[in-house]
Structure 1
Amino acid sequence: MAHTAYPQSYYAASANSVPARPELNGDVETDVCIIGAGYTGLSTAIALLENGFKVSIVEAAKVGFGASGRNGGQIVNSYSRDIDVIERSCAPKQAQLLGDMAFEGGRIIRERIAKYNIQCDLKDGGVFAANTSKHMKHLESQKKLWERYGHTQLELMDAKRIQEVVGTDIYAGGMLDMSGGHIHPLNLALGEAAAAESLGGVIYEQSPAIRIDRGANPVVHTPNGRIKAKFIVVAGNAYLGNLVPELSAKSMPCGTQVITTEPLSAELAKSLLPQDYCVEDCNYLLDYYRLTGDNRLIFGGGVVYGARDPANIEAIIRPKMLKAFPQLKDVKIDYAWTGNFLLTLSRLPQVGRLGDNIYYSQGCSGHGVTYTHLAGKVLAEALRGQAERFDAFADLPHYPFPGGRLFQVPFSALGAWYYTLRDKLGI
């Protein structure tokens, strides 16, 4: 079988040492078989292993190969659709549970980093940058909303104040969340994989799940092996393919593009982001950026519906970077890559159970770094018989994209064009 390597990204080039992991060959029995060694799968595995379960993970490529090892590396609270949207569509108890969980993922990440001594360049502080006065009003409402759920590490910033933390004059203001922050995402995944293995978990790489036999004793098949389990957790997200057709019908892979500069001088780096916070703007198709541990600027944005790889990523993203930081016009771009995330029509995550023993979480809709860590804990709780928080997610309504898979891309692109036009017009 062909060996799938990491994409040529900055993260892969700067990753911590990676041990050789076996392919699955032959038959294995375990308590829980997890499909996918990204954040969702790894977080679930750690939570289960800490509670005495025997866990095996099958991964089609390598640990963190998908979105977990390619994303912007930002620790951002809440969900892709915020708590106010949930409050309008859910019963009060369900909304309260989901609101209470909206800030837990970041805490789980920090707890894991500390407990398992994960080296992933953790830095505190995240900025939501307002492009317009309308965005500022949204951030004012968001601050009140989050504070209502006990999240108080927030500061509203006017146009003058935001220039103290972001070295550009393009923003009308913003909001600083000191419980936000950023990490080297692939090194976080690799550290969590090592943590799972230290607890007795087994990870099989280059072992794609090609079939699931459902029933009382479900079996996951790979090209050269089988895992018989009491429970299966499906955690493939945008890289799951059509392994579980009823999940792919309600979601769509999308691509986002990222570039990384050459190392910047300490003086130049500090002029861009003096406090070393990460930043995302408030547009529908948002831009996001931060400094790495070795003083490069990582800048991402854009969405390709259907997860096609653009021919020239730098041509798409570099103009966005120069709009914020024209002083980087002569700086070389060392890396450019794309990574896929899974979009749902509601832009809220999809969590549930198929039959009695196949559990899943998917569809972070571009907001996955913190949510996936929460999801792993919630899935593990459900497998231990504590399903209240799992049910709060599972009871969210979800719908297939209009027109089925054939029209997912054009309808989503049309919607994105509409919201992008609204952003540009400031309405």
Structure 2
Amino acid sequence: MNQPMGSETSQTWYEATAPAPSREDLGPPRGVAACDVCVIGGGLAGITTARELQKRGRIVVLLEAKQLAWGASGRNAGFVGNGFAAGIEEIIERVGLRNAQALYRLSAHGTEYVRREVQRLDASIKMGDGIIIAQRVDDPAGARRYAAMMLRDFNEGLDVLSTEQTREILVTDRYYQSIRNPRSLLIHPLRYARALADDAQHCGVKIHENTPALSVRKEGTSLVVRTAYGEIHARHVVHCVSSLDRRIHPPTGRAVLPVATYVAVTEPLEQDAIRVRSGIGDMRRAGDYYRLIPDNRVLWGGRITTRVSTPSRLARMLKQDMLSVYPQLGAPKIDYAWAGLMAYALHKMPLIGRAPDGQWFATAFGGHGLNTTAMAGLLLAGAIADGDDEYRRFAAFAPRWAGGPFGRIGVQANYWLMQARDRRDEKAARQVRLAAE
């Protein structure tokens, strides 16, 4: 499920509805400080890693260039479910079924971590249960086959809804069968990130916002992180910067592609088109994702581009997408619209591991980050504090050059190709339906 990843434009609905942080603002560090671990990047991966290390008895400093969770972690769609941006079939093809099963279990640990921490920190962060993925082609056998495979090979129980059942809760003729995962959940991601950061600071993590890390160098047995006003000397450095800073750690910076996607939130609506509070997406290669949020607003996301700037017609574009599925919504006013950046590796799997120079990294969560950032934080905390080598399962997805500007051109061309294939498949499905009638 593609989710928006960070932008400096326009206020989001999340920002308008999240309480202010309660933690102390430490400001940029000055002079020389020492710690066990310096975490660079204050998104969910960085916050979780720092918090889990501090709980394991390590002294941790976290540096964030702007504000915590201002990017991906506080601006996404709020869908929390098992899996990765890469499809399960792609993962099996690359590493085999057994390794794919182990990776999937790790992703599920991330989901359960979020579920547990949401309940412990602030139950109001949770906004619903379940994710429904709808088919825009008539393929009941395909839906049943996929659900059977997920249960047999990954112990993931999915509900298959018929066309009639799907259209009863999602009133549109664009959808046929759907697959529902009842174990997934929906959250307010910015509230979650802020609550997790408040708790991390309460545990002892020293959090410094508005503090870009300018460089990292080796000095004896320590790594030295330079900031504008001082230095942090640490035994370990962990990079969790997504696509928003690709210079600080070249091995991962050159391996990620910044990919933009968009979200809009309507005014409060009186509607009977979307009759469920679950998260909803479709099975297109380049699909929409949406859900009802408080005040009966619709949060609608979609589109993928390598264009980083915000299009001037963003709200209108997303409204058109929404009305193409639910024309009965009329002409709703868009109260919030924002663009954001995701970090993708070419294989669409997270980059988690340790570079030859000893620096750690966790990035490229590719629009499926709410569970996998938690998973990454747990893996790296276990590796650094306890010597656990479970993180090595991601060695098959090591960083490799993503092609620079040529990679971005390729991503954009591939997205246009996916759109064309989606249109072809849906047109064929309509023709089959008309012939049957």
**Is this a same-fold pair by TM over 0.5?**
yes
Q: Secondary structure at the match of 1:346?
A: coil
* Counterpart AA for 2:209: E
Q: What is the match of residue 263 of structure 2?
A: 258
1:102 corresponds to which of 100, 107, 113: 107
Match status 1:88 vs 2:93? yes
| Match runs of 1:131-150 below 5 Å | 131-133=136-138, 138-150=142-154
Q: For structure 1, list consecutive stretches of 5 or more residues without a partner in the other structure.
A: none
Whole-Å separation in 2 of the counterparts to 1:414 and 1:356: 35
Structure 1 pair 165/198, CA: closer, same or farther in 2 (3 Å)? farther
What do residues 355-376 of structure 1 show as CA deviations (whole Å, max 9, x unaligned)?
A: 3531111111221121111111
Q: What is the match of residue 183 of structure 1?
A: 187
Q: What is the match of residue 393 of structure 2?
A: 392
Identity among equivalent pairs (%) = 27
Q: What is the match of residue 369 of structure 1?
A: 370
Q: What is the match of residue 330 of structure 2?
A: 329
* Counterpart AA for 1:421: A
Residues 256 and 345, structure 2, Cα contact 8 Å, conserved in 1: yes
What do residues 173-210 of structure 1 show as CA deviations (whole Å, max 9, x unaligned)?
A: 11011111211111111111111112111211111111
TM-score (norm 1): 0.92
What do residues 333-368 of structure 1 show as CA deviations (whole Å, max 9, x unaligned)?
A: 101101111011111111121235311111112211
Structure 1 pair 365/139, CA: closer, same or farther in 2 (3 Å)? farther
Q: What is the match of residue 167 of structure 2?
A: 163
Match status 1:418 vs 2:417? yes
Q: Secondary structure at the match of 2:397?
A: coil
Structure 1 pair 92/277, CA: closer, same or farther in 2 (3 Å)? closer
| Match runs of 1:27-106 below 5 Å | 27-91=32-96, 93-106=98-111
Which of structure 1's runs of 4+ aligned residues deviate more than 4 A?
4-7
More displaced 10-residue stretch of structure 1: 11-20 or 106-115: 11-20
* Counterpart AA for 2:237: I
1:397 deviates by 4.8
Whole-Å separation in 2 of the counterparts to 1:23 and 1:141: 54
Q: For structure 2, list consecutive stretches of 5 or more residues without a partner in the other structure.
A: 1-6, 429-437
Aligned residues: CA RMSD: 2.1
Structure 1 pair 22/328, CA: closer, same or farther in 2 (3 Å)? farther
Structure 1 pair 423/242, CA: closer, same or farther in 2 (3 Å)? same
Match status 1:17 vs 2:5? no
Q: What is the match of residue 210 of structure 1?
A: 214
Whole-Å separation in 2 of the counterparts to 1:272 and 1:199: 45
Aligned length: 417
* Counterpart AA for 2:194: L
Whole-Å separation in 1 of the counterparts to 2:205 and 2:105: 30
Q: Secondary structure at the match of 1:239?
A: coil
Whole-Å separation in 1 of the counterparts to 2:108 and 2:190: 22
Whole-Å separation in 2 of the counterparts to 1:233 and 1:180: 29
1:398 deviates by 4.8
* Counterpart AA for 1:74: F
What do residues 53-81 of structure 1 show as CA deviations (whole Å, max 9, x unaligned)?
A: 22111111111101111111111320111
Q: Secondary structure at the match of 1:238?
A: coil
Whole-Å separation in 1 of the counterparts to 2:80 and 2:100: 22
Q: Secondary structure at the match of 2:181?
A: strand
Residues 118 and 192, structure 1, Cα contact 8 Å, conserved in 2: no
Whole-Å separation in 2 of the counterparts to 1:322 and 1:185: 26
1:324 deviates by 1.9
More displaced 10-residue stretch of structure 1: 9-18 or 44-53: 44-53
What do residues 253-310 of structure 1 show as CA deviations (whole Å, max 9, x unaligned)?
A: 1111110011224xx2xx2332311101111111100112332110010112153322
Q: Secondary structure at the match of 1:11?
A: helix
Whole-Å separation in 1 of the counterparts to 2:53 and 2:29: 24
Structure 1 pair 416/227, CA: closer, same or farther in 2 (3 Å)? same
